[in-house]
Structure 1
Amino acid sequence: MPDIPEDPTTGPSGHPQAPDPAGPVPARDATRVFAGYRELLFSIVYNLLGNVADTEDVLQDTWLSWAARHRDPAAGEIENRRAYLVRIAVNHALARQSAIRRRRETYVGPWLPEPLVSGDPPDPAEPALRAESVSMALLVVLETLTPLERAVFVLHEVFGYAHPEIAGILGRTPAAVRQLSHRAREHVHARRPRYQADPRVQRQATERFLAAALGGDLDALLRILAPDVTMWTDGGGKARASVLRPVQGRDRVARMIVGVTSRAPEELEVRYRTVNGDPSAVLFADDSPFAVMVIDLTPDGEQVRGIYTVTNPDKLSRVPDGAEPPAAAEPPSEDPGGQAP
């Protein structure tokens, strides 16, 4: 990824950001500045935590820290507001990691990130940075890193921050950050070689897979599944047919899919959506989200090597039904001491 642009009005990937001149921020402008960087902060923190509720909590903590900073008459100037806010958000996210890990130790069955679902194609009004979240498959791999390794990987590989910038954010030396980055990159690439599936191929493969799965066509499933395919099903113990561990191997996965779909609601409706940046599918039953299904393809795009199915109703509560355009965001509060924008 390229380094963060020098132009303070342009964020990672060239998306517009709020102006970021050096110097103190008047209290009346604190809300405007925070709101200008909110989507960048959301995207970074979500990629560190994989959960929307935790991400929103971290943004609230970040806002409170930012507002308190601007109520302090003794506070000095902020040379780079974007860097300052990213540092606060990342460190709040790292501080929550212990509680999150303890919570996941008691989670029933495999844990998957909460899906970020948008239209297909994505609605132009949707926040661009949020739509560019890393794939579900990569987020699963990132769960195997230490919190610091993950922070370095996300900031460097996804958002293009240079190692010296990350060192300032994390309070580590550049040499230590480079070591963390090297270790994280090797770990990730060993488990998920870097490639990007063509969106058209991904959509066609998703359609073929669902046709075979929902039709109970075992032979077709055996053809489309890779020999070493793995299926994760995150029901959180709250959905029917929750599986307590990932299922591996073509034959086992195919037979499990046929068994599960035979017990699924009869009137399932498939709506194709973009999930964490990938063309995917959302299954609805009685106009309520029943499951989000994301597939990961082999590098040649011919077979499915990973299936990620989220059926936990808690993780589907924010899935849009597509019937109405997304509601416009409420204007931010003018009170820097109130709720986060």
Structure 2
Amino acid sequence: MSRTAQGRAEEFQALRPLLFSISYRLLGSAAEAEDAVQEAWLRYDAVEEDPASPKAFLSAVVTRISIDLLRSARMRREQYVGTWFPEPLLEEPYQDPEHATELADTLSMAALLLLERLSPLERAVFVLREVFGFPFDEIAATVGSSEAACRQLASRARRHMEEGRPRFDADRRERERLAERFFTALHDGDVESLRTLLADDVHLVADSGGKAPQWGTGMFGGRNVVKLLSALMPDFLRIGGVVEPHEVNGQPGAIFRDRGGLVITTWSLDIAEGRIQTIRAVTNPEKLGHIGPVADNWAIVRQVNEGRRPGS
């Protein structure tokens, strides 16, 4: 029996969170993932015969579209200015209790950067199999390969991911409490607390894409990071800046906004062994638009500099 147009639309909407989550993990871009999902809908809507399994059909289509986008994106990233990070994601749209751990583990910035090291096919097979639990026969049909080849790809990808797997404190609530203490200390200018919360070899690094003020290759070491944060935060607060603690890519983090609520940057924190190991900031305005209206970072810098002038 043919599904009605309304029936297809309802099935697609029910599967949209899954499709987006697959595509985002392949592309590291919320905007491109949304485009891939929309293209998948157009192709689904255009087929004459109803697929036996809309989930299998749409997952295959969005994966193929994402692989094509990923191959072209890799060439662009070779010319990217400075450090490249995935677009920050504030919420995981797809929830599946059976794969909750896999979903959480592969959403962090650290894990997505590890996925970048895989070939497009390895990445697709790993995401479909290890994260979402698709059977190998469906994966093979999706990527146009044999089941045996897909098993090899999955094994190789799993090995690469395990070798570089990020270290996070197991207790999620403990990470959240530590992040809360960090942002409180940052707001209050509590230098001593900042020093105790940051690892000795902490790395603060930003993705500006050359479109926002940059910290070079980043700051290394607790002493240097504390010094930078202690210098920047009072000026940021003085011009009305707001730090809004918020989960970013499944890890503790924050959204920084100007006095009008415009998005300046997002931070995500890697926490292990009771300390913050890495702070990843995304300041490239082209990667923040899906969160909300974006501030002009250069204007923020000018405001800060004007406030520092004698007599201001």
Flag whether TM exceeds 0.5 (same fold).
yes
1:159 matched to 2:151? The reply is no
**Which position in structure 1 is the counterpart of 2:280?**
308
CA distance in 1, matches of 2:206, 2:69: 25
User: The residue matched to 1:116 in structure 2 has which SS?
Assistant: coil
Match of 2:40 in 1: 62
- The yes-or-no answer on 1:43 pairing with 2:21 is yes
Choose which of 151, 157, 160 in structure 2 pairs with 1:184. Answer: 157
User: 1:33 and 2:11 equivalent?
Assistant: yes
Counterpart in 2 of 1:211? 184
Q: Normalising by the residue count of structure 1, what TM-score does the alignment of the two structures yield?
A: 0.73
Query: For the Cα contact (< 8 Å) 1:197–1:297, is it kept in 2?
Result: no
Conserved in 1, the CA contact under 8 Å of 2:262 and 2:292?
no
Partner of 1:110: 83
Q: What's the counterpart of residue 271 of structure 2?
A: 297
Residue 19 of structure 1 aligns with which residue?
none
Do 1:52 and 1:114's aligned partners in 2 also have CA atoms closer than 8 Å?
Answer: yes
Contact 2:169 2:175 in 1 (8 A): no
Q: How does 1:264-275 map to 2 (within 5 A)?
A: 264=236, 266=238, 267-275=240-248
Out of 216, 221, 225, the residue aligned to residue 194 of structure 2 is 221
Displacement of 1:196: 6.0
Aligned match of 2:31 in 45, 49, 53? 53
Judged with a 3 Å threshold, the aligned counterparts in structure 2 of structure 1 residues 173 and 231 are, in CA distance, closer, same or farther, namely farther
> Deviation of residue 100 (structure 1)?
1.3
CA contact (8 A) 1:104 1:111 kept: yes
Of structures 1 and 2, the one with the larger relative CO (CA 8 A, separation 6+) is 1
Alpha-carbon spacing, 1:24–1:252, altered in 2? closer, same or farther (3 Å): farther
Deviations 1:267-318 (A, max 9, x none): 22222222222332222221222221111111x3x11112111122232223
Q: Tell me the matched-pair count.
A: 284
Distance 1:192 1:239 in 2: 30
* Distance (whole Å) between structure 1 residues aligned to residue 252 and residue 135 of structure 2: 30
Greater helix fraction, Structure 1 or Structure 2: 2
Counterpart code for 1:38: R
Q: Note the alpha carbon deviations across 1:124-165, whole angstroms, 9 max, x for none.
A: xx9444996612221122222221222122212221223333
Structure 1 range deviating more: 209-218 or 32-41: 209-218
* Amino acid of the structure 2 residue aligned with 1:175: A
CA displacement at 1:42 relative to structure 2: 0.8
Alignment of 1:1-341 (within 5 A): 24-70=2-48, 75=49, 78-118=51-91, 127-129=93-95, 134-193=107-166, 197-240=170-213, 242-261=214-233, 264=236, 266=238, 267-286=240-259, 287-298=261-272, 300=273, 302-319=274-291
Segments of structure 1 that go 5 or more residues without pairing to the other structure are 1-22, 119-125, 322-341
CA distance in 2, matches of 1:303, 1:200: 14
CA RMSD, 1 decimal? 2.8
Partners of 1:213 and 1:232 lie apart in 2 by: 17
Q: Which runs of 5+ in 2 are unaligned?
A: 294-312
Identity percentage of aligned residues: 38
Contact 1:153/1:184 (8 A) holds in 2: yes
Contact 1:297 1:304 survives alignment (8 Å): yes
> 2:300 matched to which residue of 1?
none
Change in 2 beyond 3 A, CA 1:306/1:264: same
Secondary structure (helix, strand or coil) at the match of 1:117 reads coil
Once the two structures are TM-superposed, the CA of residue 62 in structure 1 deviates from its matched residue by 1.0
For 2:120 and 2:253, how far apart are their aligned partners in 1? 28
